Amino acid sequence: MQPPAPDNVYLPKIAILDRTEDEIADVRTFYWHFDDPAVQTVFKRFRPGQFAQVSVFGVGEFPASLPPSPTEPNLFLTVRKVGSVTAALHQLKLGARFGVRGPYGNGFPMQNYFGQNLVIVAGGIGLIPLRSCIVYALHNHERFRKILLFYGARTPGDLMYLNELPAWQEAPNFECYLTVDRPDQAWSHHVGVAGSLFKKPGVTVPVENTMAFVCGPPIMFRFVIRDLKAMGFEDRNIISTLERYMKCGVGKCGHCCIGLAYVCTDGPVFTYEQIKRLGEDI
């Protein structure tokens, strides 16, 4: 569980914006460090799959996944501009101060999967929370069998983190397959929904001794689950992160509940077996 609570869990810590990088339309990566080095040290103990509450002062606060792996030196967020606070974050200038508190949530129990294959299926910006476990797994690649990434988006312009692929591909046991719904002229990879990659000639998806990670829009999620189940994946070997309206991140505001679970403290990572038992549709 979480470390003992500090005095005021709602108090954002001051973060300083160091650098930004545009990913795809409306999605930008924000590199930051904490003003207080002691806060930075404690925060850096986050786990893949955890999230933070991000404040733009005077505007509000929202939850965002932590896409870096704890094995990387830098802290960053990748955020899509959709509403008031995310738009305000996109407006920030380098050197600006904003607020971050966390890390929150359970995260992926990566150590439990040592010795197994990882099948990682991402749709669109669903790659943001999964990036952390990809980079973590690649950093520890000798502890896993095969690490397969299946990544789909609507168009080639909607694929994220592509500039990192060459570095990722240095790991001998990593394979990556890309697909889009609507290709452009330059597109040389697969066309179709994410699940269609599983049947692509030359692709072998391990099922035994394998954990499948799935993150993406609800429709993609449903179809990928169906495909994985058809291949023989057990519900408990499929794992995902859920997204819900959140205000507090610490199990008090009540907004994020799905059935029996508080997504912020019991999740956001759940196995498909757990998702089916929540008692409310996702």
Partner 1 sequence: MRARVLAKADLLALVDCLCQDYEVIAPFAGRGRDSFFEPVTDQNRSAIRLHLPNPSYPPKRYVFPHIERMLRIHLDDLPHIEPLYDAPKRALFGIRSCDTAGIDHLDRFYLGRDYRDVYYAQLREHLFLVNVVCTDPDLDIDDDCFCMCADTGPAARDHFDLQLMDLGEELLAVAGTPAGEAYFSQPLFKKATPAHVNRRREILAEIRKRFKLATSWYAGTSRLITLKKVSNEIWEQIGNRCLECGGCSYLCPTCTCFTVTERPAGPGDYERVRIWDACALGGFTRMAGGFNPRRAAHDRRNRRFFHKLAHYFIQRDLSVTCVGCGRCIGVCHGAIGMPAVVEILRQASVGSEIHATTGA
Ligand X SMILES: Cc1cc2nc3c(=O)[nH]c(=O)nc-3n(C[C@H](O)[C@H](O)[C@H](O)COP(=O)(O)OP(=O)(O)OC[C@H]3O[C@@H](n4cnc5c(N)ncnc54)[C@H](O)[C@@H]3O)c2cc1C
From the list 28-36, 41-49, 61-69, 174-182, the region that binds ligand X by CB under 6 A is 61-69
- Residue from the set 27, 224, 246, 275 that interacts with ligand FES by CB under 6 A: 246
Give the nearer residue to partner 1 in terms of CB position, either 10 or 114.
10
| Least gap, CB of 93 to partner 1 (angstroms) | 12
Give the nearer residue to ligand X in terms of CB position, either 178 or 215.
215
The answer to whether 62 contacts ligand FES (rule: CB under 6 A) is no
Give the nearer residue to partner 1 in terms of CB position, either 130 or 261.
261
From the list 8-16, 77-85, 151-159, 230-238, the region that binds ligand X by CB under 6 A is 77-85
The answer to whether 282 contacts ligand FES (rule: CB under 6 A) is no
* Cα distance between residue 187 and residue 180, in whole Å: 9
- Residue from the set 252, 259, 276, 277 that interacts with ligand FES by CB under 6 A: 252
The answer to whether 85 contacts ligand X (rule: CB under 6 A) is yes
Give the nearer residue to partner 1 in terms of CB position, either 86 or 116.
86
| Least gap, CB of 4 to ligand X (angstroms) | 22
The answer to whether 78 contacts ligand X (rule: CB under 6 A) is yes
The item of ligand FES, ligand X, partner 1, none sharing an interface with residue 115, based on CB under 5 to 8 Å by kind, is none
Q: What amino acid is encoded at 180 in this protein?
A: V
Length of the chain: 282
Give the nearer residue to ligand X in terms of CB position, either 224 or 263.
263
Paired tokens of 124: 């669109």
Give the nearer residue to ligand FES in terms of CB position, either 10 or 114.
10
* Cα distance between residue 183 and residue 180, in whole Å: 6
Paired tokens of 41: 């040290």
- Residue from the set 122, 256, 258, 261 that interacts with ligand FES by CB under 6 A: 256
The answer to whether 262 contacts ligand FES (rule: CB under 6 A) is yes
- 3-state SS string over the chain? CCCCCCCCCCCCEEEEEEEEEEEECCEEEEEEEECCHHHHHHHCCCCCCCEEEEEECCCEEEEEECCCCCCCCCEEEEEECCCHHHHHHHHCCCCCEEEEEEEECCCCCHHHHCCCEEEEEEEHHHHHHHHHHHHHHHHCHHHCCCEEEEEEECCHHHCCCHHHHHHHCCCCCEEEEEEECCCCCCCCCEECCHHHHHHCCCCCCCCCCEEEEEECCHHHHHHHHHHHHHHCCCHHHEEEECCCCCCCCCCCCCCCEECCEEHHHHCCEEEHHHHHCCCCCC
Give the nearer residue to ligand X in terms of CB position, either 107 or 195.
107
Contact footprint for ligand FES (CB under 6 A): 246-249, 251-256, 262, 264
Contact footprint for ligand X (CB under 6 A): 51, 60-65, 78-80, 82-87, 128, 243-247, 268
